[in-house]
A = this chain, B = another copy of it.
Amino acid sequence: MPFEKNASMGFVTNRLARLFAQHLHARIAPLGLAPAQFMTLLELWEGDGLTQAELTDRLDVEQATMANTLARMKRDGLIERTPHPQDRRAQLVWLTDKARSLEQPAKQAAHSVNQMALAGLGEADAAEALGHMNTMIESLREKPG
């Protein structure tokens, strides 16, 4: 067969993603954060008052996934939601003080995981890898499903 799992980009990507998630989880769990919550906060720290739909677009997850993540974040006191002033279907998502206070430590945690992963690569290698991965993302985004 022409299929060698250790040379399969999909297989290797899955393994690497799980390792990243495990390390990130270990470092932000003490802050009371989970990985998807952190990812969502990255967007909100840039500016809150967004709708669920806007967050869904920017983070490239499905609407249902974001709905559940936001529900857990509200439960955990990281966000509040207010009615949208022009659209009664929508709500705006706002950061709590607690969530604001976590920006620096959480970003530091994520940064250190990235540094750990990149320890064996030079800066040029890292940029190269990132570039290739973004190329693959573009290729796979073209024809969804």
Interface residues of A (CB under 8 A from B): 1-3, 5, 7-24, 26, 35, 39, 42, 45, 60-61, 103-104, 107, 110-111, 113-114, 116-121, 125-126, 128-130, 132-141, 143-145
Q: Assess A140 versus B3: contact at CB under 8 Å? Given A129-B129, A129-B133.
A: no
Q: Point out the residues of chain B lying under 8 angstroms from A139, CB to CB.
A: 116-120
Q: Point out the residues of chain B lying under 8 angstroms from A138, CB to CB.
A: 120
In the complex, which residue of chain B has the Cβ closest to the Cβ of A106?
Answer: B3
In whole angstroms, how far apart are the Cα atoms of A17 and B45 in the complex? 25
Q: Assess A10 versus B24: contact at CB under 8 Å? Given A16-B137, A140-B117.
A: yes
In whole angstroms, how far apart are the Cα atoms of A110 and B12 in the complex? 13
Q: Point out the residues of chain B lying under 8 angstroms from A12, CB to CB.
A: 130, 133-134, 137
In whole angstroms, how far apart are the Cα atoms of A103 and B22 in the complex? 31
In whole angstroms, how far apart are the Cα atoms of A49 and B26 in the complex? 35
Q: Point out the residues of chain B lying under 8 angstroms from A135, CB to CB.
A: 120-121, 125
B3 touches A113 (CB 8 A): no
In whole angstroms, how far apart are the Cα atoms of A103 and B44 in the complex? 45
